[in-house]
């Protein structure tokens, strides 16, 4: 402000008219004081804008050069993992009480209300969120929280480095080391998945128990067959000396998400039910009757050494995507499907092509062979024909892993 002061002194030294010298001096002083203040304010504003502009440009250059994304997009991941943790802790507190208490079924109004929720849309949104690539620096914190919450054993994973998994979907579908799941040689039937045994036993009166005390119709679950003159149970049996058995395995979010062939068998038909996507955790299974008949599911049916055999992958909330490795045409949780319908696909012959077949046709699967995968956790239901002296080597609520024996003859 040195220039302004010199200007002010110069003006004040000039001789005003004799009759207004005093007033003129006051006017000049006020005029240049106001100009000095105005100039000072403008200089301060310009300096502030210059600093802000330089800061913005420096921030943009740093963001572009380092690939850093200062956006709030990681918040959904933190919200989902945090909500999942709280839900899981609540589930653990209630699980033992629910197992011991008698089932309390929902009313038709409650089921209809639950059924009306847009679970398919939410599951598709969750699937897209799982496919978003995480920045390298965020992968370990997110996956570590998930591992700690659900008790995931990463020492079994083929790749233990958490930075290797680009998104949540890759982490959920991680592969295991070759020796992590040895197959039980003494059992003719092994577990198809890691999980918890919800129920097992014989099928009586064409009704299957999803949990103890809550049943569902075998025909509603598998869909109609060609011949209706016999009971549905007898229709599936190829030998009168055999019986029909079932096993239900629940896959929790922390379990290994792939499912394998429980025995050597031949898959002849795939039946896809679009259905809804309710939760299939044991608490809901004790609350909603015929839950497995309402949810989207993929039923694989065929033959094994003792007759009829089927493996059904049941979808759930946030698990709308069910993948079968040998079936590239299968598309689950698609908006073009209508609820209540089903779609058949034969593996015996597709046009002039026969897929991985024997002389009689059908997809042959070996014991322990990988069949498909879920994106999170869900349920596997086995329905099979076997001699009446077949014995299960299981306990209700037992934790089981792929390759462990289910029963023997």
Average pLDDT over residues 29-34: 47
pLDDT band at 46 (very low <50, low <70, confident <90, very high): low
CB hemisphere CA count around 120 (13 angstroms): 17
In tens, the pLDDT along 79-93 reads: 454 555 445 444 454
Compute the mean pLDDT over every residue in the chain, rounded to the nearest whole number.
76
With residues binned 3-state (H G I as helix, E B as strand, rest as coil), the percentages for the chain, rounded to 5, are: 35, 25, 40
- Check: CB of residue 297 under 8 Å from CB of residue 315: yes
Distance CA 34, CA 402 (A): 86
Contacts of 230 (CB under 8 A, 6+ apart): none
Q: Convert the pLDDT of each residue in 258-286 to its tens digit.
A: 999 999 999 999 999 987 887 777 778 77
Domain ranges of the chain: 2-64, 75-172, 189-408
| Between 353 and 399, the higher pLDDT residue | 399
pLDDT band (50, 70, 90) for residue 358: very low
**Model confidence at 49, in pLDDT bands (50, 70, 90)?**
low
Statement: residue 27 has pLDDT above 50: no
**Spatial separation of the C-alpha atoms in residues 43 and 79, rounded to whole Å:** 46
pLDDT band at 6 (very low <50, low <70, confident <90, very high): low
Tell whether the model's pLDDT for residue 288 goes beyond 60: yes
* pLDDT of 238: 83
Nearest-angstrom CA–CA distance, 280 and 195: 13
Residue spans of beta strands (DSSP E) within 175-229: 189-190, 195-202, 207-211, 214-217
The reply to whether 378 belongs to the active site is yes
Q: Which residue among the candidates 98, 169, 194, 306 is catalytic per the annotation? A: 194
Q: Are 192 and 370 in contact (CB under 8 A)?
A: no
Q: Which one from 199, 246, 260, 306 is the annotated catalytic residue?
A: 260
Spatial CB neighbours of 1, under 8 Å, sequence gap ≥ 6: 36, 39, 40
Tell me, what's the pLDDT at 76? 52
**CB 225, CB 235: distance < 8 Å:** yes
Mention every residue, 6+ apart, whose C-beta is less than 8 A from residue 75.
Answer: none
Q: What is the pLDDT at residue 5? A: 52
pLDDT number for residue 59 = 41
Percentage of the chain modeled with pLDDT above 90 = 30
DSSP assignment of 323-353 equals EETT-TT---S-TTS-TT--EEEESS-BTTB
Instruction: Summarize the confidence of residues 206-230 as an average pLDDT.
Output: 77
CA 320 to chain centre: 8
- Decide if pLDDT at 211 tops 90: no
Average pLDDT over residues 127-154: 88
Q: Quick one: pLDDT at residue 53?
A: 52
Total Cβ atoms within 10 A of residue 111:
18
What is the per-residue pLDDT for 276? Answer: 80
Buried b (16+ CB within 10 A) or exposed e, 340-370: eeeeeeebbeeeeeebebeeeebbbbebbee
Task: For 284, list phi and psi in degrees, rounded to 5.
Answer: -70, -35
Query: At residue 97, does pLDDT exceed 50?
Result: no
Q: What is the CA radius of gyration of the chain?
A: 34
Among 169, 187, 310, 378, the active-site one is 378
Asked whether the predicted pLDDT for residue 294 surpasses 80, the reply is yes
Query: Is 345 designated active site?
Result: no
CA dist 325 and 373 (Å) reads 8
End-to-end, the C-alpha distance of the chain in Å comes to 103
- Lowest mean per-residue pLDDT among 115-119, 316-320, 399-403: 316-320
182 Cβ contact list (under 8 Å, min separation 6): 403
What is the Cα–Cα distance from 208 to 228, expressed in whole angstroms?
19
Helix (H) or strand (E) holding 313: strand 307-314
Confidence grade of residue 342 (pLDDT, cut at 50, 70, 90): confident
Q: What is the spatial distance between Cα 145 and Cα 81, in angstroms, rounded to a whole number?
A: 7
The reported pLDDT for the residue numbered 306 is: 93
Residue 165: the pLDDT is: 93
* Stretch among 13-22, 147-156, 311-320, 388-397 having the lowest mean pLDDT: 13-22
């Amino acid at each position: 402000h040195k220039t302004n002061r010199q200007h002010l002194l110069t003006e004040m030294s000039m001789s005003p008219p004799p009759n207004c010298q005093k007033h003129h001096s006051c006017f000049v002083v006020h005029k240049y004081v106001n100009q000095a203040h105005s100039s000072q304010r403008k200089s301060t504003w310009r300096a502030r804008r210059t600093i802000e502009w330089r800061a913005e440009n420096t921030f943009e250059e740093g963001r572009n050069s380092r690939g850093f994304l200062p956006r709030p997009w990681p918040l959904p991941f933190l919200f989902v993992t945090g909500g999942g943790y709280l839900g899981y802790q609540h589930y653990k507190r209630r699980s033992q009480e629910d197992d011991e208490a008698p089932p309390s079924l929902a009313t038709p109004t409650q089921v209809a209300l639950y059924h009306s929720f847009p679970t398919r849309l939410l599951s598709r949104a969750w699937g897209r969120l799982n496919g978003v690539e995480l920045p390298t620096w965020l992968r370990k914190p997110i996956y570590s929280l998930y591992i700690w919450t659900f008790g995931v054993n990463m020492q079994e994973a083929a790749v233990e480095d958490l930075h290797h998994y680009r998104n949540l979907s890759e982490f959920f579908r991680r592969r295991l080391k070759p020796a992590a799941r040895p197959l039980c040689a003494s059992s003719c039937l092994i577990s198809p998945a890691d999980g918890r045994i919800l129920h097992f036993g014989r099928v009586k009166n064409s009704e299957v128990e999803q949990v103890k005390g809550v049943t569902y119709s075998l025909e509603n679950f598998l869909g109609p067959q060609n011949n209706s003159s016999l009971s549905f149970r007898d229709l599936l049996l190829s030998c009168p000396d055999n019986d029909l058995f079932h096993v239900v395995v629940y896959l929790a979010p922390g379990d290994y998400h792939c499912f394998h062939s429980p025995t050597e068998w031949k898959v002849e038909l795939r039946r896809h039910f679009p259905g809804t996507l309710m939760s299939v955790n044991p608490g809901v299974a004790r609350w909603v009757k015929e839950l497995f008949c309402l949810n989207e599911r993929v039923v694989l049916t065929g033959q094994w050494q003792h007759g009829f055999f089927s493996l059904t992958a049941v979808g759930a909330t946030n698990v709308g995507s069910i993948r079968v490795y040998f079936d590239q045409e299968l598309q689950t949780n698609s908006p073009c499907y209508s609820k209540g319908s089903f779609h058949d696909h034969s593996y015996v012959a597709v046009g002039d092509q026969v897929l991985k077949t024997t002389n009689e046709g059908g997809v042959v699967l070996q014991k322990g062979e990988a069949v498909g995968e879920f994106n999170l956790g869900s349920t596997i239901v086995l329905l099979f024909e076997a001699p009446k002296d077949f014995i299960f080597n299981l306990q209700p609520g037992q934790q089981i892993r792929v390759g462990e024996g289910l029963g023997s003859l």
